[in-house]
Amino acid sequence: MDPLKFSKMIAEIIKSKKGFDINILDLRKLSGIADCFIVCSADADRQVKAIADEVDEQLHNKGIRCFHKEGFETLNWVILDYFDVIVHVFKADARSYYNLEKLWGDAPVIKIKNEE
């Protein structure tokens, strides 16, 4: 599957659990780590977990396996690794601290609009 289409599909799952400030960073010309990062915010630990669990469950139901999961112990920053696409679910304060968008500042960013 095209990494941008896959990322947009994941963004819709994130929106269904009220994740916000969703950005897709297109890393295809910048890094061999992954083609895309999806970065989103959540207000609380439970919401971080709910978003990560929903992404994992929905993709698992489509036959897409998560290669690696990390961060479920503290729920400040959960990472779901789908090889070409890596999902970062942050509590808002952790997101501003780690500032992945600045770190990958050369990457084109697709901002996903939240419905109001």
Cα distance between residue 110 and residue 112, in whole Å: 6
Per-residue model confidence as pLDDT tens for the chain (116 residues): 899 999 999 999 999 999 999 999 999 999 888 999 999 999 999 999 999 999 999 999 999 999 999 999 999 999 999 999 999 999 999 999 999 999 898 999 999 987 65
Are the C-beta atoms of residues 58 and 85 closer than 8 Å to each other? no
**3-112 CATH, one of 3.30.460.10, 3.40.50.280, 3.30.930.10, 3.40.630.30:** 3.30.460.10
Q: What is the pTM of this model?
A: 0.94
Report the b/e string of 78-96 with b at 16+ CB within 10 A: bbbebebbbbbbbbeebbe
